[in-house]
Amino acid sequence: MTRLTVIASGKGGVGKTCLAIGLAQALAEGGARTALVDGDLGLANVDVQLGVTPARDLGHVLTGACTAEQALTPHPAGFALLPGRSGAAGLASLGAEGLDRMVALLRALPVEEVVLDLGAGLSLAQRRLAAAADLLLVVVTEEPTSLTDAYAVLKLHRTDGGGQAALVANMVQGPAQAARVHGALDQACRHFLGQGVKLLGHVRRDAKVPAAIRAQAPLLTRHPASPAARDLRILAAALRATPLGKAA
Ligand SMILES: Nc1ncnc2c1ncn2[C@@H]1O[C@H](COP(=O)(O)OP(=O)(O)O)[C@@H](O)[C@H]1O
Ligand SMILES: [Mg+2]
């Protein structure tokens, strides 16, 4: 069984791409066959953060130039990478059928865990991908704009009939701040949506994260003992411990 985990936030710059890369590496370290897919078609952030220029990307897969498996590029960090295509038209140009085909291709990859990094925004295409996920991970920081965007993502996810969703509090000082961020959103979800949201984990604010990006190297390779790297390993373990199922 392949689990499709979609990383979203609404707001940009909250750490989705860092988290997707770190989570994929931590899952791979933990022994799970893992694919990291850059769903930010048009900007292809993952390639830039990792400093790689793979020959094949999701664009080739979607036009039928190669299979999804052929476009999976093994990365030294342990996961396989399916890159986005920089400069290509965004996900929106795929249409509903194209998006559903993309989900089917990702689910058929020969891995246990697929981590799909979405771009910023709340487009129909992003909503369709989020709704197709086994688990939607909503990345949130303590900034009010991030909280309201995360709430909007969760609300639309419910409207769209999406499955499991959970929060990841990023750039927090520690567990207490993560609990406060979670508490605020959980309360809003309970009150207005009739159902709370759980916190899967948190990642501390850590200067090693931007340092790794500057070096175009994955955090867990570059700074394996950093606080953020430790938190990512705990997050990956929590994900692995989450039963795969559509129940919220
Ligand atoms: N845990 C963290 N600690 C410190 N800085 C972080 C952390 N997570 C992300 N960042 C910084 O936030 C910025 C945006 O991250 P990115 O992953 O590109 O966000 P998004 O994909 O949501 O737009 C990056 O410059 C990165 O260095
Ligand atoms: Mg990003």
In sequence order, the 6+-apart residues with CB closer than 8 A to the CB of 199 are: 166, 167, 168, 169, 178, 179, 182, 186
- The share of the chain scoring above pLDDT 90, in percent, equals 77
Q: Give alpha helix (H) positions in 45-110.
A: 45-50, 58-62, 68-71, 95-107
Among protein residues, the one whose CA lies closest to atom 25 of ligand 1? 210
Query: What is the C-alpha to C-alpha distance for residues 8 and 126, in angstroms, rounded to an integer?
Result: 8
Does residue 121 or residue 206 have the better pLDDT? Answer: 206
Q: What are phi and psi of 18, to 5 degrees?
A: -55, -45
Angstrom distance (rounded) from CA 3 to CA 57: 21
Query: Would you give the DSSP letter of residue 207?
Result: T
- Mean pLDDT across the stretch 96-115? 94
Q: What pLDDT shows up at residue 248?
A: 41
What sign for the dihedral angle of Cα 231, 243, 3, 124?
A: negative
Q: Of the residues 209, 220, 226, 232, which should be mutated to test ligand 1's pocket, given the most ligand atoms within 8 Å of the CB? A: 209
pLDDT of 153-194, one tens digit each? 999 999 999 999 999 999 999 999 999 999 999 999 999 999
Please state which of the ranges 48-57, 128-137, 215-224 shows the lowest mean pLDDT.
48-57
The average confidence (pLDDT) of the chain is 93
How many angstroms separate the alpha carbon of residue 213 from the centre of ligand 1? 9
pLDDT band at 47 (very low <50, low <70, confident <90, very high): confident
Give the pLDDT mean for 7-19.
94
Question: What is the reported pLDDT for 120?
Answer: 86
Fold for the domain defined by 3-240: Rossmann fold (3.40.50)
pLDDT at 24: 98
119 alpha carbon – ligand 1 mean position (Å)? 13
For the whole model, what pTM was predicted? 0.96
Domain coordinates in residue numbering, the chain: 3-240
The average pLDDT across 218-222 equals 97
